[in-house]
């Protein structure tokens, strides 16, 4: 059985001219977020724009976070991606979700009203309690090695 949370529609275009976000298939892990805009927006090559989705979520559950992720097809075919890598929607944020969409492609791209622009996925959250120490052991197989230290294979 799937866990359900409340989602609110905050833009009158959503559900009227623009489809409500949905899962594309029964096996989809993320909802498709759509551009909830009245007119097309041109993303110039190398630029970024804030694109509204018309959706606000009310999780009220601090054990969850909503993650805004890029759509693979837009990234591959047009160089469009979520500008900061992923977007984090904290459980206590109740405003409209907007996507910072970046165009790293070589050509301008026009976002049309209703276009699928990103994905929204829900994940469990673990908060870590940090504590100050003078030092800690690095005696592991890897030690302090990073950035490719384990080789290519």
Binding residues for substrate: 71-73, 84, 88-90
Bind-site residues:
71-73, 84, 88-90
CA distance 13 to 22: 16
Report the SS3 class of residue 73. Answer: helix
Cβ atoms 138, 49 nearer than 8 A: no
CA distance 44 to 46: 6
CA distance 90 to 87: 10
**55 CB neighbour count, 10 Å cutoff:** 23
**135 CB neighbour count, 10 Å cutoff:** 5
Q: How does DSSP classify residue 144? A: T
Determine whether 75 is exposed, middle or buried from the number of CB atoms within 10 Å of its CB (0-12, 13-18, 19+). Answer: middle
């Amino acid at each position: 059985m799937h866990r359900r949370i409340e989602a609110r529609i905050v833009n009158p275009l959503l559900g009227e001219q623009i489809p409500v976000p949905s899962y594309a298939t029964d096996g989809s892990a993320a909802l498709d977020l759509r551009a909830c805009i009245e007119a097309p927006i041109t993303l110039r090559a190398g630029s970024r724009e804030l694109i509204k989705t018309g959706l606000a979520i009310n999780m009220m559950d601090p054990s969850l976070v909503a993650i805004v992720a890029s759509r693979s097809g837009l990234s591959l075919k047009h160089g469009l991606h979520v500008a900061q890598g992923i977007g984090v929607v904290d459980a206590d944020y109740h405003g409209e979700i907007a996507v910072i969409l970046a165009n790293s492609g070589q050509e301008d791209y026009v976002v049309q009203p209703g276009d699928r622009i990103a994905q929204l996925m829900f994940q469990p959250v673990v908060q870590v309690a940090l504590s100050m120490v003078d030092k800690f052991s690095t005696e592991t197989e890897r030690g302090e090695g990073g950035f490719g230290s384990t080789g290519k294979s």
